[in-house]
Amino acid sequence: MRSLCLLAALALSSLPSSARGADDILIADFEGDDYGLWAVEGRAFGRRPARGALPGQMDVSGFLGSGLVNSFVGGDSSTGRLVSPPFRVERKFLNFLIGGGDHPGETCINLLVDGKVVRTATGPNDAAGGTERLDWHAWDVSDLNGRDAVIEIIDSHTGGWGHISVDHIHQSDATKMAAPAERTVVARQPYLWLPVRNGATKRRIQVREGGEIRREFEIELADDRPDFWVHCDLTPWMGRELTVRIDRLTGDSTALARLLLSDQIPSQVWPPDNRRPEIHFTAPRGWLNDPNGMVFAEGEWHLYYQHNPYGWAWGNMHWGHAVSRNLVDWSNLPIALTPVRFGDWAFSGSAVVDEQNTSGWRDGESPLLVAAYTSTGRGECMIYSNDLGRTWTEYAGNPVVKHQGRDPRLLWHAPTNRWVMAVYTEAEGKQWIAFHHSPDLKSWTYASRIEGYFECPDLFELPVQGQAGDSKWVLYAADGRYVLGEFDGLEFRPDGPKHQLWHGNFYAAQTFSDAPENRRIQIGWGQGIEFPGRPYNQQMTIPVELSLHSTPDGVRMAAAPVRELRENFGHAAARFAGEVTPGAAAVVNAQFGASDVELVTPAGAQGQLEVSVFGEPVVIDYDARTVKVADVAPAPWNTQGDQLRLRIVADHGSLEAFVGEGLTAVSARARLRQDSPALLLLRTGEPLSVDATVYQRTLPLP
């Protein structure tokens, strides 16, 4: 197989092995039922070694065996001290695993000789966003050979990260502490493969050409067997000599020797994944979150997205890129936006077509695409593309807006003939959406702001269905709670309070700019929908078309799956039409896989109807007028007709439900089960007339 040949694609020598010295001397491995001869003071360490994480603590990893020192007993406010019995220094190094807080003198391990501290070390964390993983540390104690010493482990810090974790203290003639390592490669093939192991110590990798850093990122690099592989695109430097530098690597790690060069990316080599969502977009590898830069141009729907191409968890924020011609099947393209430097991440933003070339950036016949994004180290920045969004150029005058905020949303405001940027901002200790305007996408003027919105704004105008000439502006932020009102290009004036359309695993949604037929199509991040054991994490929700409707409660926004879904999932694989009676479940069988279910019942029924889709429940409560999808809290629904319509889009990883006219939508994490029927209908109350159809893909994918 071609993939097997990849193992020889990069001629790198193995890492040098350390010379074998005298046997190691164990001081403590903390595997016992108590601390043995160690003296225990205070409360923080408890009366015995911990067995992993303690109540209220994040997952603890990296320790050996089942026990470790963990001073989180009672939380960060507790204090204490552990003191070892005396021992003699007999080896060159004293190695140990350490994690927890980085508070010198307060969360630390000390080596004492003659009662004086001669060596000390702390954990790595002093701010939010850290990890409870333990990593190797070593002291060179060769100058202390033959001296008697004791070890003390201290926790006297009562604030954040006020705890310490330690394990497997031993003497050795070899250090276990990681040190920088590097290898030189010639980029004869474009993709550098990197092995990832979830939960491994994060390493920082630099790809350098001479003295220039070309790529820099953090990665949970596998020292031995990887969980999956990711790649770094070296296309811009083909044929050149590059240095791959890892900031710290243990002497027994094989990670550097495992690096591969290939002319394929990992997802092209591995077999197809029959557990990957079929309808919902997922990244080829790594993490995704907010949809970004959504724009339609030349027959393509562009979906950019927040992406960590080097790991399963959030980090290293780039813009991934995919395109579709039918809003169902997506083609992955190379990463569109890379951080200008490590730590200056490419956060969320939006894109538009500059049809009139107001910016003057157009060069060629293709439509000019312009995007705004947050550079976390600079501010709001503009980029533009003359090749249909494949590559982007930074505006030399960036940043165009500097403030405490992020996530710019661009739109063309036709009545005032200028551009508008709606952007999240923080001021006066409050959260706002601020509005700026510009004639050319370069120079921006602040106009106004509205309080009470957090992250990822969207702003657009929609007609009210059935009311000719009537329209409303819609404003929402990351939580999806929207408000209707008027917008004159300078200020948004709400008509009333916020309303809720979406419930469950839904966040940071955005709509496509420049969609044909004035369609307003939305995609959200299915926040929290994970795929354990897979090389990708999180998904997008399905594209839905938004509309405004008059209801007895006023004008409200509705969401319906785009028509393209039925065009591609239009095969009626199974149907049930009849009565469902209590105690007699109706079973509908269809092939296991992504399905689009439509169900109609009388709206005025009583009791409940449970619709189990491949083993995952959707419960309609006619008395409470709620719908509960999987583990999401019940969401209220209403309908204006005599019939209640329920549409359920089922996929590997999730269910999405749309109730009535789409005024209630729910996105829920779910795990479809192959041993369950496509539909299982269970009724409480009186017999209920149900018409249910399971639609599946019309034609198999090539």
Q: Is 387 a catalytic residue?
A: no
Report residue 645 as tokens: 């319509």
Q: How far apart are CA 664 and CA 662, in angstroms?
A: 5
Sign of the Cα pseudo-torsion (499, 502, 507, 508, in order): negative
577 DSSP β-pair partners: 691
* Strand, helix or coil for residue 319: strand
**426, 404 in Cβ contact below 8 A?**
yes
Contact predicate 150/83, CB 8 Å: yes
Identify the active-site residue in 290, 354, 407, 458: 290
Q: Which residues contact 69 (CB under 8 A, 6 or more apart)?
A: 30, 45, 49, 50, 82, 153, 164, 165, 166, 167
Within a 10 A sphere around the Cβ of 547, how many other Cβ atoms? 18
Alpha carbon distance 377, 123 (integer Å)? 27
Q: What's the rounded Cα separation, in Å, for the pair 614 and 675?
A: 8
In this structure, the number of other CB atoms found within 10 A of the CB of residue 443 comes to 11
Asked if 156 contacts 164 with a C-beta cutoff of 8 angstroms, the reply is no
Q: Strand, coil or helix: what is 337?
A: strand
Token representation of residue 168: 């497997």
Strand partners, 458: 476
CA–CA separation, 236 and 598 (whole Å): 49
Closest CA to 534 of 275, 161, 346, 327: 275
Contact by Cβ (8 Å): 544, 562: yes
Q: How many CB atoms lie within 10 A of CB 390?
A: 15
Round to whole Å and give the CA distance between 198 and 462. Answer: 44
**The residue count for the chain:** 702
Distance CA 452, CA 473 (A): 17
Q: How far is CA 692 from CA 294, 575, 576, 578, 628, in A?
A: 34, 6, 5, 9, 18
Cα distance between residue 62 and residue 176, in whole Å: 13
**How far apart, in whole angstroms, are the C-alpha atoms of residue 431 and residue 428?**
8
Q: What tokens appear for 366 in the block?
A: 């293709």
SS3 644: strand
Give the whole-angstrom CA distance, residue 320 versus residue 207. 20
CA distance 462 to 137: 60
Order the strands of the 664-669 sheet from edge to edge.
502-504, 664-669, 654-659, 643-651, 595-602, 688-696, 571-580
Task: At 628, list the tokens.
Answer: 């509960």
Cβ contacts of residue 184 below 8 Å, gap of 6+?
241, 242, 243, 244
Contacts of residue 175, Cβ cutoff 8 Å, sequence gap at least 6: 93, 95, 138, 140, 251
- What are the backbone dihedrals phi and psi of residue 211, each rounded to the nearest 5 degrees, phi first? -95, 5
Those residues whose C-beta lies under 8 Å from the C-beta of residue 297, and which sit 6 or more positions away, are 353, 367, 369, 388, 389, 514
Q: Cite the active site residues.
A: 290
